[in-house]
Amino acid sequence: MVDIKFLLKIMALGCIVAFVVMFFHIKSIKKDNVNFPSLKTSDAVNDIIIRSKEYRGVSYIETETNNKFRIENSKNYFYNPIRLCEFIQEGDSISKQRNVDTIIIFRDDKEYYFLLGKIIGKE
């Protein structure tokens, strides 16, 4: 039979490990939000994506010219995948004109459209 004290020690150790992992994960997300300012309508971008990562629908993007920014929850139901954070790839070109909310992704001589923080194609 399994010793109850042993099981409690294992459970306590598991809780401590989970707490430490969550602490550093939250710290990492906060750091990303500082290092990757949110792309705003007033911003302009015309660059090539060299790295991207996703967390909870937010795209964290690094470009060839060392720009870093994040794009919140943009979706287009006419594409698969629908979420920008899953759609973009390294090597894609990204373009957004100043004072416009349209984001254009260029890939393989095609253009793909998303709206900054909005949904396209879902009623």
Same domain, yes or no: 30 and 57: no
Write out pLDDT tens, residues 101-113.
Answer: 999 999 999 999 9
Q: 21: pLDDT confidence band, cut at 50, 70 and 90?
A: confident
The arithmetic mean of pLDDT across residues 87-108, rounded, is 94
Helix%, strand%, coil% for the chain, nearest 5: 30, 35, 35
Res. 32: pLDDT tops 70:
no
89 in a structural domain: yes
Q: Is 77 in contact with 122 (CB distance < 8 Å)?
A: yes
pLDDT confidence of residue 75: 93
Structure tokens at 61: 């993007």
Range of the domain at 9: 1-35
Q: Do residues 2 and 52 share a domain? A: no
More confident residue, 9 or 62: 62
